[in-house]
Each structure stands twice: as structure tokens, then as C-alpha cells.
Amino acid sequence: MKTLSIIIPCYNEETVIQITYERVKSVLNQLTGIKSYITFINDGSTDRTLEIMTEIASVDTDVFILNFSRNFGHQAAVTAGINYCKTDLAVIIDADLQDPPEIIPDLLQTMEKEQANVVYCVRKSREGESRFKLWSSKLFYRFLNSLSEVKFPLDTGDFRLIDSTIIKEFNRLRERGKYIRGLISWVGFKQVPYYYERNARHSGKTKYPFRKMISFASTALSYFSKKPLLLSVSLGFIAVIGGIILAIWYALGKIFGYTNAESGFTSIMIIVIFFGGVQLLTIGVLGQYIGILFDEVKNRPEYIIENTINIEQ
Ligand code: UDP
Ligand code: MG
């Protein structure tokens, strides 16, 4: 008999977690020939999320809880879920019911039929998302793909079914800054899409404010592409060529008398400001990668678990 874990990261989801549990459970109960478990990761919630989970786990011993010592972020929570996973298969799904658990049987079927290691869910449509989020994420995934050495499927979140091969390889990845959907693509093996309609959040607010979106995007970009570093090289190159041309132009101007070198305040100001900006920008890009090196070298754990429920250590 195959075993399946449903990995659900939760951060302040008190309004929805009970319903999520019920909907996931009723889907799992319909599966035949599969023994399934639910792993809730409480990512430092400050509301009643942990309390509700604990109640659920006291009745249903197939529900596991990993309780973080504080909020470590969505990607760390999913990472913990995969790290603790001992089953043949795992589904990563959000707590807010944006990803309908009802398609899990279809995911399993697709995996079986295609003999795949990953079935990733591609959003055909997204309800209840701000126009800014839709637009920025569309643009971002395309931008990332154009820069990254690995190609990622577009319009895909972390919602997916993975098998034990992927779980095993994922658990060997040592980097701290995890961009999970990218890493799973990077691992390789057979990965197939499944198209679905993404719903609006059941209740509560998004836990990804603009600030977190930016930090998520910058992890994705800087861990999956070294091309921004090349930016300074190409800008520098353009500047040097421009400089040489200008120098020749002025030298010839002096000889043939077609320039009057004194009147040049505006052009000098423009050049100084422009290259000042270019330098700050490129130093900033360098700084971004040095910051990452700093974080990785410190080698801190990605998350700290305060306690677990229904899991023997
Ligand atoms: N989440 C988390 N830690 C965080 C932020 C989010 O565990 O710091 C969880 C959250 O509870 C949800 C999932 O990650 O299950 C996705 O978050 P959310 O739905 O707020 O993001 P959105 O769908 O708006 O991008
Ligand atoms: Mg959501």
C-alpha cells in the first residue's frame, strides 16, 4: 500500500484551517489503496491556528504538527514538511483553499498514467487576486525564465504532487534560501503539468504583502541566475566605448576647431549623474550576492521546531 502526505504550511489561518482539514480529509477518505497523512506546519502563527490544529490532531492521529518557534516564512515551512516526510508521495498545498484539494485524486491518476515523478499544477485562471498581483507575477515569471539557467514552468505555484525520488533529492539540497518550485524543476526527472482553475482565498487575508513578494522574488532571481552580475560588465563596457568615442570626438574637435570645449556644464553633469547611478546600481547587485554568501556561510538552520505532535522524534 502506498503512503501519501499532505503538506500544509499555515500562518495565521484560524478562519480557514478547520474547513481545510475537513475538505482535505474527505478527499483522502475517498482514495483507495493509499494510506494518507496530513502534516500541518505552524509557521509562528499569532492567532488560534495552533490551538485548532492541536484539537484536530488529538482526534485524528494521522495528522502531524510541526510547530515552529517563530515565523520563518512559507518556503521554510514547506521545506520542513518535505524534510519530515517519510511517505512515498507528498502533495504541497496552501492552507487557504486557493488550491482545491478535490483535484488530488486527478494528480495521483496523472502521475500513475504518465509515470511521472512530479505533477505540478498550472493555474489556468486565478480568482480573487488583485490586478497588480496577477500582472506582476506574470511578468516576473517570464523575466526569471529569461535570466535563469534552468527553465521553469510558467504560472505555477508550489501546489504539486511529488514522489519519493524527488523528496529524497530535495532533502539533499543544502542551500538555505529555498525557492521550492524552482528547486523541484532543477532536480529533474519526469515532471508533467496539470491545469486547474485557482480559486479565491476562502477567508482571511494574504500572508504575502508587497514586502514578502519582493523578498521572494529576489531569492528566486539571485539563487537561480548569475546574469545580474553580468549587468555591471555590460554597462561598464558600454561606458568605456562611449568614453573612447567622446575622447576621439573632442580630440579631433580641438585639431579641426569644430568644438568649443568650455561650454559643457550640462553634458558633464549628465555624464557624472548617469555614471554615479550606474556605479551604485552595480555595487548594489554585487551587494545582493555578497549578502547571500553571508547568509549561506553562517549556515544557520532554515527553521527551528519548538515541538511536534503525533510525530516520534
Ligand atoms: N504562509 C506561511 N508562512 C508565511 C506566509 C504564508 O506558512 O510567512 C502560508 C499561508 O498560511 C498559506 C500559504 O503559505 O497557507 C500561502 O500564503 P498566502 O495564501 O497568504 O499567499 P498568496 O496565496 O496570497 O500568495
Ligand atoms: Mg493564498
Name which residue sits closest to atom 16 of ligand 1, judged by CA.
94
Q: What is the pLDDT of residues 21-66, one digit of tens each?
A: 999 999 999 998 899 999 999 999 999 999 999 999 999 999 999 9
Helix then strand count (H, E) for the chain reads: 10, 8
Check residue 258 and give its pLDDT: 77
> Which CATH superfamily groups domain 2-225+302-309?
Spore Coat Polysaccharide Biosynthesis Protein SpsA; Chain A (3.90.550.10)
Nearest CA to ligand 1 atom 24: 206
Q: Rounded to the nearest whole angstrom, what is the distance from the C-alpha of residue 266 to the centroid of ligand 1?
A: 50
Strand-pair partners of 65? 40, 309
- Assigned C-alpha cell, 54: 492541536
Q: Quote the CA–CA distance of 200 and 100 in Å, as a whole number.
A: 10
Edge-to-edge strands, sheet with 118-126: 191-198, 118-126, 156-163, 89-92, 2-10, 34-42, 63-68, 305-309
Atom of ligand 1 nearest to the CA of 8: 15
What is the CA(77)–ligand 1 centre distance, in A? 10
Ligand 1 atom nearest to 10, measured from its CA? 11
Percent of the chain with pLDDT over 90: 48
Q: Whose CA is nearest to atom 22 of ligand 1?
A: 206
Per-residue b/e over 249-261, b at no fewer than 16 CB within 10 Å?
eeeeeeeeeeeee
Task: Report residue 40 as a C-alpha cell.
Answer: 500541518
For residue 72, the ligand 1 atom closest to its alpha carbon is: 8
Distance 302 CA to ligand 2 centre (A): 22
Predicted local confidence at residue 212, as pLDDT: 86
Which one has a higher pLDDT value, 141 or 57? 57
DSSP 21-56: HHHHHHHHHH-SSEEEEEEEEE-S-SSSHHHHHHHH
Confidence at 4, pLDDT banded by 50, 70, 90? very high
* Mean local confidence (pLDDT), 71-90: 95
| Most confident stretch, 118-127, 186-195, 200-209 | 186-195
95 lines ligand 1 (CB under 6 A): yes
Torsion of CA 170, 22, 34, 59, to 10 degrees: 100
Q: How many residues are present in the chain?
A: 313
- Answer whether residue 261 shows pLDDT above 70: no
Residues 185-213, mean pLDDT to the nearest whole number: 85
Mean of pLDDT values over 136-154:
85
- Of 207, 210, 214, 215, the residue with max ligand 1 atoms within 8 A of its CB, to mutate for a pocket test, comes to 207
Distance CA 31, CA 167 (A): 21
| Å from CA of 207 to ligand 1 middle | 5
Tell me if 75 CB under 6 Å of ligand 1.
Answer: no
Please give the radius of gyration of the chain, using alpha carbons only, rounded to the nearest integer. Answer: 25
Q: Please give the number of the atom of ligand 1 that sits closest to the Cα of 77.
A: 7
Domain boundaries, the chain: 2-225+302-309, 227-298
Distance 233 CA to ligand 1 centre (A): 37
3-state secondary structure 117-165: CEEEEEEEEECCCCHHHHHHHHHHHHHHHHHCCCCCCCCEEEEEEEEHH
**Choice from 7, 8, 20, 74 to test ligand 1 binding pocket (greatest atom count within 8 A of CB):** 74
Alpha-carbon span 241 to 195, nearest angstrom: 49
10 lines ligand 1 (CB under 6 A): yes
Helix H or strand E encompassing 198? strand 191-198
Three-state secondary-structure class, residue 265: helix
pLDDT of residue 262: 66
Q: At what angle do helices 180-187 and 74-83 cross, to 10 degrees?
A: 40
Q: How confident is the model at residue 214 (pLDDT cuts 50, 70, 90)?
A: confident
